[in-house]
Amino acid sequence: MTIKGVLFDFSGTLCRIEPVGDWLDAVLDEAGIRLPDDELRRYTEELEATGALPGGPAPQQVPPHLAELWATRDESAERHRAAYTGLSRQVALPDPALHDALYDRHRTPAAWHPYPDAAEVLSGLRGRGISTGLISNIGWDPRPVLDAHGIGAHLDAAVLSYEHEIQKPDPRLFRIACEAIGHDPRDVLMVGDDRSADGGALDVGCAVHFVDHVPVADRPDGLRPVLDLVG
């Protein structure tokens, strides 16, 4: 198999979201709200348990009234916002406006940290004539985030679930992404961190390489093996 194109997932693959505590701190600071340390710690733990931070820890339990919305959250921008703000509203924050502010915060470049080797690997692939693309289950456009971190310029295309109303592992989304970078799926490598969602690429004939969704400092060169895989 000759790899002619590589598709990358966004969250947990190219970038990682900030910790829940930092996320909450940033929004509280913007709102001018100061909380005692024990209260701040409690809110952080509760938000983490509910899974309210997109790209962060998964919910320990999805409330029944949000179950269907959660299952299809990446099929539209509206569903994505409703699912995550619905989860955060399980926590009685000191100001109800904070729930939307938290959601808005996670879409900013400051909330995301690129893996150290992301730009280098993408640039290296492009230098070898390998097409590169982004394929993400998401409810908003992460390209401004990638651009801000010097990654976006190395991507030839982006296929986002909410724009197509299809979520990975649906094979249709992978076919769209392969077409977007101009290659047959059998000539494409999918790189992601979610064995269920990203593993769906196998169903259309792509090769798949998994990376670990861990803190940025713990994975300084997790993407570099991709350069070896393409030869």
pLDDT band at 231; cut points 50, 70, 90: confident
Strands 112-114 and 188-192: unpaired
pLDDT digits (tens, 9 = 90+) for 133-184: 999 999 999 999 999 999 999 999 999 999 999 999 999 999 999 999 999 9
Q: What does the alpha-carbon distance between residue 105 and residue 90 come to, in Å, rounded to a whole number?
A: 18
pLDDT digits (tens, 9 = 90+) for 45-59: 999 999 999 999 999
Number of neighbours of residue 125 by Cβ within 10 angstroms? 24
Level-2 CATH architecture, domain 5-16+112-229 = 3-Layer(aba) Sandwich (3.40)
pTM: 0.96
Tokens standing for 55?
């790209």
How high does pLDDT run on average in the chain?
Answer: 97
Q: How many residues does the chain have?
A: 231
Each domain of the chain, given as residue ranges in start order, spans 5-16+112-229, 18-110
Sequence-distant (6+) residues with CB within 8 A of 21 are 40, 44
The answer to whether residue 1 scores a pLDDT higher than 80 is: no
pLDDT digits (tens, 9 = 90+) for 3-21: 999 999 999 999 999 999 9
Q: What is the pLDDT of residue 138?
A: 98
Mean pLDDT throughout 112-132?
Answer: 97
Q: Starting at the edge strand that comes first in sequence, how are the strands of the sheet with 157-160 ordered?
A: 157-160, 131-136, 5-8, 188-192, 207-210
